[in-house]
Structure formats: C-alpha cells, structure tokens
C-alpha cells in the first residue's frame, strides 16, 4: 500500500519549533524532521536542536549541501578562462590559494560564486536550503513507488510579510508534493504559547536580543539586529570578516562584502570595486549600525525592530516578526 509522508522543516526558530510540536500533537504519519544546515548559524542553534531531539525523543536530520564539485570546476575556470581573459597571475594565484572546500556550506557556496548573496541575488536560500532538501529528502521519497503523497510542513505565518499574507494553507507544488502551512494564521504569541503548552523551551537566542533565528547575520538583517549581534556575539562578526577576506580572494575582482551597497547609506560611486567592497566591510557596516537615523549620531538605545526575513516559499528562513 502506498504511503503518505510528512516532512517537517525546522530552523531552530520559534515558528518551526511550534510546527514540529503541532505535527507531533497531530500524530503526522511517517514524519521526518529536517534541518538545512547553512554552517552560518549561531552555536546556540545547534545546541537547541540537540535539546529538541532529547526533549522530544526524535532525530533531526541535518541536511548539508556539498560544493566540492563546483569548487573543483571553478579552479579549472580560474586556470583556463581567467588566464585566457588576461586576468593577472597574482589574482589567479590568490584565487587558487583559497579555492578549497571547507565543508562550511555558506562559505563554500560564496567562494564558488566569488561573491556573497544579496537581496537581488538571493541564491543562499535556493542553494543552502531549498535544493538540499529537495534533492536529499523530497526527491528520493517522490521517486519511491511506495510513496503516495509527500507533505512539506512549513512554519510560515501570514503576519510576517505581505508575501506570506497571500499564501494558502495547502497547495500542490509538484506531482504528489504538497506544501502544508498549518500555522499560517497564528500570531507570534500563539507560537510562544504553544511552546509553553508542550513544556518546550524556545530558542534562548530570543532572550538574548535576537528577533529571529537563522543565519547570523542574515543578509537581510536590520540595522538594530546587526547592532545587537555585534554587541552580544562579536565573534560572529569576526567570522564573517574572515569570510569576506576569503571570498574576496576567490573573486576575480578581489573584493566582496557580506552586505551590499543598499545596506548602508552613502554612495560608493567613483570608488573602485575593491575600494567599494572595503567600505562595505562588515566591520564598517557594524560601526554604522551603532549610529542613529541618518548615520550621523550614535544611537544609545538598542531597539529591536522587526524586519523582513527570507521570502523562501519553503519558509525555511525565519522572518524577523514576533518576539516574546
């Protein structure tokens, strides 16, 4: 007899945890819980996933993409195409020196691409979350003749963003594959109440000033959130600064910043690419995050305001809405 399967995607955030609790409460059959690991999460997220596994007596499958093949191909491109284009030998050697897989998905993806994702080119969600779950979890199930339908549980809520307000609770998004969004009409408070009902702690990051859980920081993070991150977790900012060095070295133009020009006001017009990227370095953007409106005076009150999260149709990147 063909079976239905339920795949619950968790991020370590409050919404997907409530989603998981709901799936358990409803006794979802053939349930698997998956976490798309970007390698760009705060250590607290991994600790929280361990806590959930122990508390709920289940296994959370850590799904990771491997970009070794793409990086090997990029090395060939650097040695052939770049040389044919007249790129300087120094730049070629710089790139080859760092173009080796690290096993950290976010970093390897950016080194392969020679740049960081941006609002306009948000390849991070696709490459780090959507595709790995499709390829490693959903496709094998859908190709199995014993599978009837697959339900992809998504912890998105209408009040997070205008895009999410338009979503429907259930829709077929592929042959035999359904998106199921049972907490679409929940408010943030309902989500926290549901944790309490089940005696499950929410991620402690919410009590440390974070309004969202996920990549730290997200390319979309708001000024005040970046300020909070830099104050509480300066080591995460230093990590990204090191990634900027590596990704810059892997890039043909020898410059790439984590945040794009739209993050911080002030023109980069007239600057060379490398100069513009240096100006947009995460340490400079963090410094700007400490200033008040307009970027001129320092803001002494670290307010946390809601921001927009990743608009992944899979709901895998948690929105900034809500709080406790």
Give the span between the Cα atoms of 35 and 133, in whole angstroms: 9
Question: What residue ranges in 94-176 does DSSP mark as E strands?
Answer: 147-153, 170-174
Of 183, 317, 320, 321, the residue at the interface with ligand SF4 (CB under 6 A) is 317
Least CB distance from residue 307 to ligand SF4, whole Å? 11
DSSP 58-91: --EEEE----HHHHHHHHHHIIIIIHHTT--HHH
- CA-to-CA distance for 255 and 281, rounded, in angstroms? 10
Residues 235-294 that bind ligand SF4 (CB under 6 A): none
Pick 41 or 99: Cβ nearer ligand SF4: 41
Give the DSSP H/E element, type plus range, for residue 181: none
Q: Is 219 in the site for ligand SF4 (CB under 6 A)?
A: yes
Only one of the segments 49-57, 61-69, 107-115, 212-220 lies at the binding site for ligand SF4 (rule: CB under 6 A); that segment is 212-220
Which of 8/124 has CB closer to ligand SF4? Answer: 124
Beta carbons within 10 angstroms of residue 119's beta carbon: 12
Contact status, residue 318 vs residue 213, Cβ threshold 8 Å: yes
* Whole-number Å distance between alpha carbons of 289 and 302: 10
Q: Which of 82-90, 132-140, 160-168, 218-226 is the region at the interface with ligand SF4 (rule: CB under 6 A)?
A: 218-226
Closest to ligand SF4 by CB, 95 or 132: 132
When binding is defined by CB under 6 A, the residue of 22, 184, 205, 215 that contacts ligand SF4 is 215
Site for ligand SF4 in 33-72 (CB under 6 A): 38
Burial of 243 (0-12, 13-18, 19+ CB in 10 A): buried
Least spacing, CB of residue 91 vs ligand SF4, in Å: 27
Q: Which of residues 94-133 bind ligand SF4 (CB under 6 A)?
A: 117, 122, 124-125, 128-129
Which residue ranges make up the site for ligand SF4 (CB under 6 A)? Answer: 38, 117, 122, 124-125, 128-129, 214-215, 218-220, 310, 317
């Amino acid at each position: 007899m063909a079976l239905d399967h339920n795949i619950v995607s968790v991020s370590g955030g409050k919404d997907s945890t409530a989603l998981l609790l709901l799936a358990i409460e409803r006794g979802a059959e053939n349930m698997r819980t998956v976490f798309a690991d970007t390698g760009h999460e705060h250590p607290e997220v991994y600790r929280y996933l361990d806590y959930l596994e122990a508390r709920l007596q289940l296994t959370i499958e850590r799904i990771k993409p491997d970009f070794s093949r793409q990086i090997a191909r990029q090395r060939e491109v650097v040695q052939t195409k770049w040389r044919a284009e007249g790129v300087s030998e120094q730049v070629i050697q710089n790139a080859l020196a760092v173009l080796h897989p690290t096993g950290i998905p976010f970093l390897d993806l950016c080194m392969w691409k020679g740049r960081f994702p941006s609002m306009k080119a948000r390849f991070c969600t696709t490459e780090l979350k959507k595709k790995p779950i499709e390829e490693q979890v959903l496709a094998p199930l859908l190709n199995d003749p014993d599978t009837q339908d697959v339900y992809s549980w998504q912890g998105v809520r209408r009040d997070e963003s205008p895009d999410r307000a338009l979503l429907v609770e259930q829709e077929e998004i592929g042959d035999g594959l359904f998106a199921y969004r049972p907490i679409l009409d929940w408010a943030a408070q309902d989500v926290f109440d549901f944790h309490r009902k089940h005696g499950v702690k929410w991620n402690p990051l919410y009590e440390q000033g974070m309004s969202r859980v996920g990549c730290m920081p997200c390319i979309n993070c708001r000024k005040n959130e970046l300020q909070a991150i830099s104050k509480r977790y300066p080591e995460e900012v230093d990590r990204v600064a090191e990634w900027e060095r590596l990704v810059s070295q892997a890039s043909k133009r020898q410059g790439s910043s984590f945040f794009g020009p739209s993050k911080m006001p002030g023109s980069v017009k007239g600057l060379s690419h490398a100069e513009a990227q240096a100006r947009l370095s995460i340490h400079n953007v963090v410094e700007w995050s400490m200033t008040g409106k307009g970027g001129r005076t320092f803001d002494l009150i670290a307010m946390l305001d809601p921001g927009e999260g990743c608009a992944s149709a899979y709901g895998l990147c948690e929105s900034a809405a809500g709080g406790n």
